Amino acid sequence: MSIDREKFEGGVAVITGAGAGIGLGLARRAAELGMKVALAEVNEQRLDAVDRELRAAGAETLPVLTDVSRPAALDALADTVYDHWGEVRLLINNAGIETIGYTWEIPTEGWERTLNINIHGIVHGVRAFMPRMLASGKEAWVANLASIGAFGQMPLQTAYIMTKHAVQSFTECLALEVSLTGKPIHVASILPGMVRTSIFEAGAGADSQNDAAAAHRRTMRDYMAHDGMDLAEASRVMLEQVAAGEFFVSTQPEMTDDMIAGRIAFLQSRRAPQLSEQTRALIDAA
């Protein structure tokens, strides 16, 4: 028996942003492992679609329309799941958006939406679920979606990159706090590299409305389609590492290693940020 099936089969999983992208892939994999899956998603059509898909495959699901940018919605999600199924074994705070554009051109509402979904959605997801997970005294897992971007820099993706730096820092500190409790809860930071999802599709973020942002989104979409990892395989790899109690969960370890090595070199040099040749090529291509 694989470690992910051994640890997760029969348990309850809660996945935010479960209607698309990595959240959808993880929901499918959790269902394959025999978990009951609470699907939290802000888009009602996507929520209905994934719920129908997983139920047709024999999974037990609980669809909950959830806007993670609202702390009260995450409290309601936790109440709904615990009232319906009881204890949660796996919480994946996944919901996030990619926002593209020069920092000074992204509108106020775009900045607020990005920060509220990508950062506050994870913070309040933990706040809403963790007290009951700790109180149960049983083994459980909390995984937050960061990114290899948490160790890098990227012009025109500043809003997204800064939120992933924040998620990584939050998750590191959370792991230390949980360790102080002595409770058997594992904390993981999921660091997807390039995985084929819809995150760069037009209208998926809160971009500035100019040609540069649209061109960069198209370039990244094409790059992901050509070089990205298969979603099902990435989801399998991620949940296997989460189940094993890994803190750093990577889809493509070599890519993660390169990003971390670059971050270390940058901090040690204490020089101003420089565009790498690869970054320059991506910007020029747009």
Render pLDDT for 212-227 as a digit per residue (tens, 0 to 9): 666 666 766 665 666 6
- Statement: residue 84 has pLDDT above 70: yes
| 180-213 per-position pLDDT tens digit | 999 999 999 999 988 877 666 655 566 666 666 6
Q: Provide the number of structural domains found in the chain.
A: 1
Catalytic site residue from 82, 102, 160, 223: 160
Domain boundaries, position 266:
3-285
pLDDT, residue 225, reads 67
Q: Residue 276: what pLDDT?
A: 77
pLDDT, one tens digit per residue, over 27-41 is 999 999 999 999 999
Residue 235's domain is classified under what CATH number? 3.40.50.720
Position 246 pLDDT exceeds 80: yes
Rounded Cα–Cα distance for residues 198 and 200 (Å): 6
Average per-residue pLDDT in the chain? 92
Concerning whether 223 is annotated as a catalytic residue, the answer is no
Once rounded to an integer, what is the mean pLDDT over residues 214-242? 80
- What pLDDT is attached to residue 197? 77
Nearest C-alpha neighbor of 154 from the set 103, 88, 194: 103
Mean pLDDT, to the nearest integer, of 1-12?
A: 96
Give the list of residues 6+ apart from residue 184 with CB closer than 8 angstroms, or none. 137, 138, 139, 140
Residue 65's pLDDT band (cuts 50, 70, 90)? very high
What pLDDT shows up at residue 77? 98
